Amino acid sequence: MSQRTKIKALLESEQTNMEVTVKGWIRTFRNNQFIALNDGSTNNNIQVVVDFENTDPALLKRLTTGAAISVVGQLVASLGKGQKVEVKATQIEVLGDSDPEKYPLQPKKHSLEFLREIAHLRFRTNTFGAIFRVRNTLSYAIHRFFNDRGFVYLHTPIITASDAEGAGEAFKVTNLDMANPPRVENGDVDYKQDFFGKATNLTVSGQLEGELGAMALSDIYTFGPTFRAENSNTTRHLAEFWMIEPEMAFYDLEDNMDLAEALLKYVISEALKYNADDIEFLSQRLAEEEKQKPQNERSEMGLTEKLQFCLDNDFQRLTYTEAIDILKESTPNKKKKFQYLVEGWGTDLQSEHERYLVEKHFKKPVILTDYPREIKAFYMRQNDDGKTVRAMDILFPGIGEIVGGSQREERLEKLEQRMDEMGIPKDELWWYLDTRRFGACPHAGFGLGFERLVLFVTGMGNIRDVIPFPRFPKNAEF
Ligand code: 4AD
Ligand code: MG
């Protein structure tokens, strides 16, 4: 087998007039002469020129959109417009045919909704090729960021008996006979007879186990799938999503915010550096989509500008209480334009409020801190005012909440008191409470929703388009 060169390398090649082997999938074949070939290494196709007069007509017929081929030929400077180099084929082999009558991807624009239905093939479009290359860069950059800072990548369990967020949105894991489960006297299912000898679920967050690691390794992070059975059919929620959760001993909330801001800026700059072509393509895609919208709904910045803007500006930091004051006095609140009017202190912010703060008021990413304790999880450190906790949420333009985190309650008594108030079973979390008994220290951490990050960097509008095979209510295809 001769050495195959990837298309990205061929297009960047300084050298021409040499024999190359290239393999990929045909995007288009026009005039019986020009193949646009793509192998996923870049958004750009290489042009393969076919000597059709000296090629078997039976073979020409098989050069259809979607077919996989192997080409041997000369890499030469291109005379045509649009590409610097092309391959003059001397030998073409069809590795896998693709019946043009049946192949669902035609060389034309398909709607994102349609492509979602053929998610097994959508990788072969320019848009999804770009999205998944950017996703890969972001993932790798996250690991590099933490590794460079001496963080330990900790693999927390996927199956667990706890509900870290206490929101009751966990998927059950069981191998009991669903049609006829064993029961205890009062009729409840007897989970003692289940696989793990107790009721278990898919994790909603690796944080609690992450904290255990941080209490010895100092700085850890998890990066894995998390699962939530929340029935929110929105463009921002998935039932299965990936989350990055760093947890740091001896950090307070300020340190936590600094780290989160540095992480976001670093990974965005890495995407701009390594995926310039893809982001340029996605930027144009977004610009075209924006043109369909009425003038007043169009965003002021293009994708590249928006990303650069994030890098160039400090995130605006303010407390929840300050944010409520701004929202109360805001025009949409006074003119009753918000769907949920902001009246008093203490209610959770809706995404329309978050987006107002970010997109209209501050016009940059915002970090809100010190939320009312009633709307936050039990593990957040309580402030002296008796009302708020040391929480922080990072809000991004077009996305809303991208990061949620806090300084943790390290004082055993305060933590137990809060768990009692919120009905969190202390006996089940004995191991978590042990860290507060033995060498407790101030610590903090946060969770970054990976798909929300990919959504932001790619400028896509629906979270279902930035994960290969989205899971959401009534959908687990592929
Ligand atoms: O705010 P959340 O629920 O925080 C936690 O789970 C903490 N344990 C994190 C921590 O402090 N270690 O979730 C964190 C982030 C959100 O800000 C959001 O970006 C993302 O996870 N997220 C989702 N992304 C997609 N689909 C969903 N259903 C999501 N729920 C949360
Ligand atoms: Mg949150």
Do 346 and 335 form a contact (C-beta atoms < 8 A)? Answer: no
Predicted pLDDT of residue 392: 98
Predicted pLDDT of residue 165: 83
Do 71 and 89 form a contact (C-beta atoms < 8 A)? Answer: yes
Considering the chain, what is the average pLDDT of its residues? 96
Task: Kindly state the helix (H) or strand (E) to which residue 86 belongs, with its residue range.
Answer: strand 85-96
Find out whether the beta carbon of 449 lies less than 6 Å from any atom of ligand 1.
yes
Find out whether the beta carbon of 405 lies less than 6 Å from any atom of ligand 1.
yes
Find out whether the beta carbon of 205 lies less than 6 Å from any atom of ligand 1.
yes
Segment 314-335 mean pLDDT: 97
Question: Is this structure's pTM higher than 0.85?
Answer: yes
Predicted pLDDT of residue 296: 78
Segment 380-385 mean pLDDT: 98
Share of the chain above pLDDT 70, in %: 100
Segment 317-328 mean pLDDT: 98
Segment 137-142 mean pLDDT: 98
If we measure between CA atoms, which residue out of 449, 376, 367 comes closest to residue 408?
A: 376
Find out whether the beta carbon of 376 lies less than 6 Å from any atom of ligand 1.
no
> How remote is the CA of residue 393 from the centroid of ligand 2, in Å?
7
Q: Which of 227, 241, 248 to mutate to test the pocket of ligand 1 (most atoms within 8 A of CB)?
A: 241
With a cut of 60, say whether residue 1 has pLDDT above it: no
Predicted pLDDT of residue 163: 83
Residue 402: C-alpha distances to residues 105, 354, 368, 454 (Å): 33, 11, 12, 10
Predicted pLDDT of residue 299: 80
Tens digit of each residue's pLDDT (9 = 90 or more) over 15-45: 999 999 999 999 999 999 999 999 999 999 9
Segment 324-339 mean pLDDT: 96
Predicted pLDDT of residue 297: 78
Q: Which of 243, 450, 456 to mutate to test the pocket of ligand 1 (most atoms within 8 A of CB)?
A: 243
Segment 135-144 mean pLDDT: 98
Segment 190-200 mean pLDDT: 97
* Strand-strand pairing, 388-396 and 85-96: unpaired
Tens digit of each residue's pLDDT (9 = 90 or more) over 250-304: 999 999 999 999 999 999 999 999 999 999 999 999 999 999 988 877 887 899 9
Which residue has its alpha carbon closest to ligand 1 atom 30?
237
Do 218 and 249 form a contact (C-beta atoms < 8 A)? Answer: yes
Predicted pLDDT of residue 2: 60
Find out whether the beta carbon of 408 lies less than 6 Å from any atom of ligand 1.
no
The string over 337-372, giving b where at least 16 C-beta atoms fall within 10 Å of a residue's C-beta and e elsewhere, is: ebeeebeeeeeebeeebbbbbbbeebebbbbbbbbb
* Separation between Cα atoms, residue 206 and residue 228, nearest integer Å: 13
Tens digit of each residue's pLDDT (9 = 90 or more) over 232-254: 889 999 999 999 999 999 999 99
Segment 193-197 mean pLDDT: 98
Predicted pLDDT of residue 19: 97
With a cut of 70, say whether residue 78 has pLDDT above it: yes
Predicted pLDDT of residue 445: 98
Tens digit of each residue's pLDDT (9 = 90 or more) over 104-135: 998 889 999 999 999 999 999 999 999 999 99
Segment 40-55 mean pLDDT: 96
